[in-house]
Amino acid sequence: MLRDNKGQWSLIGLIVVVVIIGIMGYYLLPGLGGSTSVPAGNINGTSAPATPGGVGSAPSPMDRAKGLSCQSNLRQVRDAINMYKQGNEKAPEALSNLSSYGVSGEVGACPQSKSAYSYDAASGRVWCSTPGHENF
């Protein structure tokens, strides 16, 4: 009797697929040994290129995510300031005046350092004082 082997994986074929997936994971995922360098002008706002390991190493994925979240928070606060200016003809005296515009305590602080954003009421300018976030 002959068996029909259509649709079955051979051991060699399975090993080849596992090796290919492993190689792709190694090069594509930084945690498995892939590239961790971040180009100049990286997400943390520094302009120096990162070097693997040691001083000046690339920020962790969590730090990069918190940097993106900080940028998003600042964008929301700036949008709320602009909406406030349109309705009141002037900038708010404090960021706490923006609660009706969706700026709560969580949005009004850097997710990385947990420090409140700096605000200049005269100009309506808001910024993050966390090191590396100065250019956000």
List the chain domain ranges: 63-127
| pLDDT higher than 60, residue 124 | yes
Q: Is residue 50 a contact partner of residue 58, using CB atoms and an 8 Å limit? A: yes
| pLDDT higher than 50, residue 45 | no
Q: Pick 90 or 41 by higher pLDDT.
A: 90
- pLDDT, mean of residues 73-98: 84
pLDDT value at position 3?
65
What band does 55 get if pLDDT is binned at 50, 70 and 90? low
pLDDT value at position 16?
92
d(CA 128, CA 136): 7
| pLDDT higher than 90, residue 69 | no
| pLDDT higher than 90, residue 116 | no
Alpha helices in 29-106 (DSSP H): 61-88
> Side-chain half-sphere of 117: how many Cα atoms within 13 Å?
32
Task: Read off the pTM.
Answer: 0.54
Give me the chain's average pLDDT, please. Answer: 75
